[in-house]
Amino acid sequence: MNPLVALWDEHRQAVWLDFIQRSLMADGGLARLVASDGVRGVTSNPSIFKNAITGSDEYDEQIDEVLLADPDATATEVYEALAIRDIQAAADVMRSVYDNSQGTDGFVSLEVSPELACDTSGTIVDARRLWAAVNRPNLMIKVPATAEGIPAIEELIAAGINVNATLMFSLADYEAVAMAFVCGIARCPEPARVASVASFFVSRVDSAVDKQLEAIGTPGALGLRGKAAIANACLAYRRFHEIFHGGPDFAASKDRGAQVQRPLWASTSTKNPSYPDVLYVEELVGPETVNTIPSATLYAYRYHGRPRKALAEGMERADEVMEGLAGVGIDLDAVTQKLQVDGVKSFADAFQDLLLSLETKISSRRA
């Protein structure tokens, strides 16, 4: 069996594609990934859109259409027109998965403006606007799990909008997002119609921690390389079970038909070439989770992935790894806090680069 298909059939883990580009829908590539590899969703972010829009001429025809309809359109307005069309096309491809899963899978994610990461009310307004503009039930609005994003997540869930809470690196981030969902879904008139995932970033944690371990240089420190990210994710998965399957806060909403908010493993491409290329897929397999996988990693796992109940094994070792990290002087809270700040900045920078590229294209057409 195709290992990607086995992740769902044998382990009830959904595979989502962490990539979007217009040609993927136009040439049937996404439909083939759904049919052959069991792909059950799609995620996007400003970096992905930047690469897609500025790295090809696929979008030039629509840029001309937008400017013909509105010669004064801004770069932001042009970007949104391009992104919304791609998201709608992907959502239409994924609609069969959404329908067949009764609204638990088949989602496509679109991020609010990265410039609103520290603006609660602005995030809520932008999310509502994008939700209406895309007008697809299998859309998820991505909202960063910043201090200002947490209350926005709660309000959007309460309003019946599907949310992909993103840029989580720490257990504290996860708990804040999970409780925002619990509080929001308790206020939602139709909780069964709302889906949400909590996107927990993985490989970047190892990239940051490994540098510190190598600087420490002791055998004990070096022996912990490549272990922090998986242990961190396993602790979040443990907390997921405590909140959604053992705690009282979600019980009433569950009785009203609410879905759990699934953990989603993000940033699962391997950054360190000395690690296996499918490390962060292979070690994070477990039910009621999602792994959003970049194209290259997805193809690699298709050919040599080995699905097993890895999360159950990892939870048994996670505390020991965390104790070891603390013992050699790693302050994981400080590491993950900086990673979130850097992640917000990275997406904002990619968004600005995209707008500058679009400005150049627009200016050349107005000349």
Q: Answer yes or no: are the C-beta atoms of 188 and 166 closer than 8 Å.
A: no
Sequence-distant (≥ 6) Cβ neighbours of residue 196 within 8 angstroms: 140, 157, 162, 163, 164, 165, 181, 185, 259, 261, 262
Helices (H) and strands (E) in the chain, counts: 17, 8
Q: Answer yes or no: are the C-beta atoms of 30 and 17 closer than 8 Å.
A: yes
Tokens of residue 78, six digits = 């042009």
Residue with tokens 């080995």: 306
Q: Answer yes or no: are the C-beta atoms of 200 and 264 closer than 8 Å.
A: yes
Report the SS3 class of residue 130: helix
Q: Answer yes or no: are the C-beta atoms of 87 and 139 closer than 8 Å.
A: yes
Q: Answer yes or no: are the C-beta atoms of 232 and 203 closer than 8 Å.
A: no
Q: How many residues does the chain have?
A: 367
DSSP 152-213: HHHHHHHTT--EEEEEE-SHHHHHHHHHHHHHHHHH-S-GGG--EEEEEE-HHHHHHHHHHH
Q: Is 361 assigned a catalytic role?
A: no
- Which is the catalytic residue, given 142, 254, 271, 345? 142
Residues involved in catalysis? 142
